[in-house]
A = this chain, B = another copy of it.
Amino acid sequence: MHVLIIGAAGMVGRKLCERITRDGGIGGASAGALDRLTLVDVIEPARPEGFSGQVTTQALDIADPASAVRMIEGRPDVIFHLAAIVSGEAELDFDKGYAINLDGTRQLFDAIRAAHDVEGYFPRVVFTSSIAVFGAPFPDRIADDFFSTPRTSYGAQKAMGELLLSDYSRKGLFDGIAIRLPTICIRPGTPNKAASGFFSNILREPLVGREAVLPVSEDVRHWHASPRAAVGFLLHAATMDLSGLEQRRALSMPGLSATVGEQIEALRRVAGDKAVRLIRREPDPAIVDIVAGWPRDFEPKRALELGFTADASFDEIIRIHIEDELGGSLPG
């Protein structure tokens, strides 16, 4: 099996690559061993360690119309399309957001289509969409048939990517599925300025004895998935039978709805009061405003019926971070 990961240098891309090279494939032995991997990003992705198959790494700008043809030159069986510029950047640079998030996606789909028309090429395509396709006001829980009225260019571009993927799939040009990821928590790395950063910061930093800033009140509710759960969604999407989707190929993934207060209580259970005391409350009206427009909870019936599974609790999300990022235990 040949797998292509577009956006392989990003956090989810790296974790996906680690997982499939460790497992030696996706979907178990019956799906065939992983013998070839193509990794693409705007910067050259790292080569996976301990993988004996063929690896191609490419530094390509997905906004360049010539890139997509090169990415699929090896005719991968499964394509993970994770490449995007994020919400904040797409909002600041309108042209760049459309060039990467919309045109880059369409150019990929058109390159596949050209190969399909000539030689019957028919890969599975897994596209990461986002809960940013939804825009406030929301019901308490967003159902599968709720409409997309994004309030960011990023959300609009992802919603258009979903429509393209569904239309190209309906026409039989490839076998596509779009999965809307919850906010990833705990994001590894260092605190960043993304408005959503605090959801991870208030757990990740205190776990290793560092302070973190909480800019909103504890009753703020949001929708989360661990990096490990996100990789699980991608693998399931790559291997499941898609005939049950009919023509509704964009799915809100399951997640965990929790308030900031519930996150903090989970931190207390896992790491004690001394960790919780490292959270400094510094209300930031700008962030409070932004977060008020974000989804709080979903009712992802279709994804659950189709076998996608979420984290069971925030305690589990924290334990996953300790296992995957901190070597399995908290520092002294």
A156-B166, A156-B167, A164-B156 known; A149+B247 contact, CB < 8 A: yes
Do B171 and A94 touch (CB < 8 A)? yes
Tell whether A170 is near chain B: CB-to-CB under 8 Å.
yes
Tell whether A196 is near chain B: CB-to-CB under 8 Å.
no
Tell whether A159 is near chain B: CB-to-CB under 8 Å.
yes
Tell whether A313 is near chain B: CB-to-CB under 8 Å.
no
A135-B247, A160-B160, A247-B135 known; A167+B153 contact, CB < 8 A: yes
Interface residues of A in 149-168 (CB under 8 A from B): 149-151, 153, 156, 159-160, 163-164, 166-167
Do B146 and A163 touch (CB < 8 A)? no
Bound Cα distance from A145 to B127, whole angstroms: 24
Give the nearest-CB partner of A171 in chain B.
B94
Bound Cα distance from A159 to B163, whole angstroms: 8
* Chain B residues closer than 8 Å to A247, beta-carbon distance: 135, 149, 151
Do A156 and B150 touch (CB < 8 A)? no
Tell whether A248 is near chain B: CB-to-CB under 8 Å.
yes
* Chain B residues closer than 8 Å to A148, beta-carbon distance: 147-148, 163
Do A147 and B149 touch (CB < 8 A)? no
A135-B247, A160-B160 known; A167+B150 contact, CB < 8 A: yes
Of the candidates B135, B149, B151, B248, the one whose C-beta lies within 8 Å of that of A149 is B248
Q: Which bracket fits the contact residues of A?
A: 20 to 34
Bound Cα distance from A43 to B250, whole angstroms: 39
Mask: chain A, 45-71; 1 = CB below 8 Å from B; 0 = not:
000000000000000000000000000
Of the candidates B135, B145, B150, B151, the one whose C-beta lies within 8 Å of that of A147 is B145
Bound Cα distance from A163 to B144, whole angstroms: 19
Interface residues of A in 59-113 (CB under 8 A from B): 94
* Chain B residues closer than 8 Å to A166, beta-carbon distance: 149-150, 156
* Chain B residues closer than 8 Å to A144, beta-carbon distance: 147
Do B170 and A151 touch (CB < 8 A)? yes
Do A153 and B135 touch (CB < 8 A)? no
* Chain B residues closer than 8 Å to A250, beta-carbon distance: 149
* Chain B residues closer than 8 Å to A150, beta-carbon distance: 163, 166-167
* Chain B residues closer than 8 Å to A167, beta-carbon distance: 150, 153, 156
* Chain B residues closer than 8 Å to A163, beta-carbon distance: 148, 150, 156, 159-160, 163
- Which A positions have Cβ atoms within 8 angstroms of B? 94, 135, 144-151, 153, 156, 159-160, 163-164, 166-167, 170-171, 247-248, 250
* 4 other A-B residue contacts (CB within 8 Å) besides A149-B166, A150-B167, A151-B247: A146-B147, A149-B250, A150-B163, A150-B166
